[in-house]
Structure 1
Amino acid sequence: MTQTVISPAPVRAIVTGHSRGLGAALAELLLERQIDVLGVGRSAHPTLAQREHPANSANAATTAKFVEASLDLADPAAVEKWLASGALQDFAQGAQCVLLFNNAGTVDPIAPLGAQDASAIARAVTLNVAAPLMLANALATVQAGERRIVHLSSGAARNAYSGWSVYCATKAALDHHARAVALDAPDGVRIGSVAPGVVDTGMQATIRATSVDHFPLRGRFEELKQTGKLTSPEDCARQLIDYALSDAFGTSPTADVRELA
């Protein structure tokens, strides 16, 4: 893994979809590293708000701060209103480095064209694309030393899968957003759209519960689960954080954690 060059104390992080799965692992590990965390999502994390996050060294701050914002990221009007409140700017203001992990997302609808629910399509595009782009745009305006935007992408952004046309399209949108932003990003802004590999989360359970008619590759994902080949959320979160804090982050607009050395 590339060497970490930013010390934790002046770093703050925003994590969407922080209440479970990979988002929860990201929030917990960031706090362990004495990085203040703002969790954004519909649901609260079941325990983090009640925990103390003590310093892990004599030179660190006394505690890392954890705050939450209750927000339906699939509702663009609600996202716009929250951003207008200044909550993101207030949290990030003055930090040496602010990380944004655009983690929240949905794999639904899983179905071939013509069998997809229209409202599910709209929700997926808003949650997977519009919200990350809105948050990234807002972060770019924050007065901070560095702002690093981490889109959680997927192998589905780079390979087409039957039944996943909406998911593939939305994740590919994040990849291309990162490529374009890399051309015109304001000073101090880095961006990377990072595929995390196949992680053992609730999304995987959704995939395995889908009919083969709607997702012909279901058996492949069942085998990954049965043979213990899914990455744990904690291991994936550790890799993502190390990469986001490293000097290598942003040198390429797209990456895959399985290819990071």
Structure 2
Amino acid sequence: MKKAIVTGHTRGLGAAIAAELQGRGIAVLGMARGRSPLAGIEQAEVDLADPAALQAWLAGDALRAYLLDADNAFLVNNAGVVTPVGPLAAQDPADVLRAVTLNVAAPLALAAAFVRAAPLAARRILHVSSGAARSAYPGWAVYGATKAALDHHARAVLLDGDLRVRACSLAPGVIDTDMQAAIRATPGSDFPLRQRFVDLKEGGALDSPEDCARKLADYLLAPGFGSEPVDDLRN
């Protein structure tokens, strides 16, 4: 049986990924602070930016019980935030801690727990990364650094040599989501590249969450998944 875990499944790309995988006959467990109206999926209400809450959930039996009958298991680490945006002097340290917890600590902890919870299954881990992981952008020091951490994690997983565990940190391109709206609303003084993203929106160059989710699912389920630990969906 094929089973997937999707974080941040209540809106945007995460919601589209959950629906796409479910439509392909894959059972889905969504993890987020809130609940999704998508019928037929299991849901765990966990604030992934709260280390104590995530640790308490992982200490329970829910993950192992969910994956017990899976012969193919998938973890899609989609949840993340772009904030704080701006130079160091403008960054609230509390926002930095929240971003690093949600963008890095949670997906890495989930990856380890996921692999341990399904020792007999073929396991695939997909980190939703960003082009900002590979090119430094002014104002995105925290976002870029957290996504780069996911890239490096996937590289190391490949070097571990476990053929039943594959991982890829995949940049999905620019998608028409709430995160993009937040980027366009950022003052140019905090994010000098803001106009580039405004132009992408106005030029109709943003991918829809549904189209991106379809391509991402194709990538996740392809035979060669994990042979490239860091990749871009546009390649």
TM-score, normalisation: structure 1 = 0.88
Residue 32, structure 1, aligned to residue 8, structure 2? no
Task: Kindly report which structure 2 residues correspond to 1:117-196, keeping only aligned pairs within 5 A, or say none.
Answer: 117-141=92-116, 142-196=118-172
Contact 1:111 1:215 in 2 (8 A): yes
Q: Deviations over 1:159-213 (max 9, x none)?
A: 0000000000000000001111111154411000000000110000110010000
Offset of 1:139 from its aligned partner?
A: 1.0
Q: Which deviates more from structure 2 when the two are superposed, residues 142-151 or residues 116-125?
A: 142-151
Equivalent position amino acid for 1:174 in 2: L
Give the superposition deviation at 1:94. 2.6
Structure 2 distance, partners of 1:44, 1:131, is 18
Q: Partner residue of 1:213?
A: 189
5+ residue gaps, structure 1, are: 1-9, 52-64
Partner of 1:22: 13
Partner of 1:258: helix, strand, or coil? Answer: coil
Report if aligned partners of 1:15, 1:39 keep a CA contact under 8 Å in 2: yes
* One-letter amino acid of the counterpart of residue 246, structure 1: A
Q: Bigger CA drift: 90-99 or 157-166? A: 90-99
> Within 2, Cα distance between the matches of 1:106 and 1:233?
16
Find the aligned partners of 2:73 and 2:161 in 1 and give their Cα distance. Answer: 15
Range with greater deviation from structure 2 (160-169 or 65-74): 65-74
- Structure 2 equivalent of residue 72 of structure 1: 47
How many pairs were matched up?
Answer: 234
Q: Which amino acid aligns with 2:145?
A: A
Could you say which residue in structure 2 is the equivalent of 1:100?
75
Distance 2:206 2:161 in 1: 34
Q: Give me the CA root mean square deviation.
A: 0.9
| Structure-1 separation of matches of 2:125 and 2:34 | 22
Match of 1:238 among 214, 228, 232: 214
Higher helix share: 2
Of residues 190-199 and 179-188 in structure 1, the stretch that sits farther from structure 2 once superposed is 179-188
**1:13 is matched with which residue?**
4
3-state SS, counterpart of residue 173 of structure 2: coil
User: What residue ranges of structure 2 are gaps of 5+ in the alignment?
Assistant: none
Larger mean CA deviation between 206-215 and 85-94 belongs to 85-94
Moved over 3 A (4+): none
In terms of mean alpha carbon deviation, does 248-257 or 83-92 score higher? 83-92
- Following superposition, the deviation at residue 33 of structure 1 comes to 1.0
Of 252, 255, 261, the residue aligned with 2:228 is 252
Alignment deviations for residues 54-104 of structure 1 (CA, whole Å, 9 cap, x no partner): xxxxxxxxxxx4110000000111111101112111111231211100000
- Looking at structure 1, the residues matched to 5 and 132 of structure 2 have their Cα atoms a distance apart, in angstroms, of 24
Indicate whether 1:203 and 2:194 are aligned: no
Q: Identity over the aligned pairs, expressed in percent? A: 57
| Superposed CA offset, 1:25-58 (max 9, x none) | 001111111111000000111x21xx3xxxxxxx
- Helix, strand or coil at the partner of 1:114: helix
Q: Distance in 2 between matches of 1:204 and 1:187?
A: 36
TM-score by length of 2: 0.97
C-alpha separation between the residues in 2 aligned to 1:93 and 1:192? 23
Residue 219 of structure 1 aligns to which amino acid in structure 2? Q
Partner Cα distance (2:190, 2:119) in 1: 46
Equivalent residue, structure 2, for 1:56:
none
Structure showing greater radius of gyration is: 1
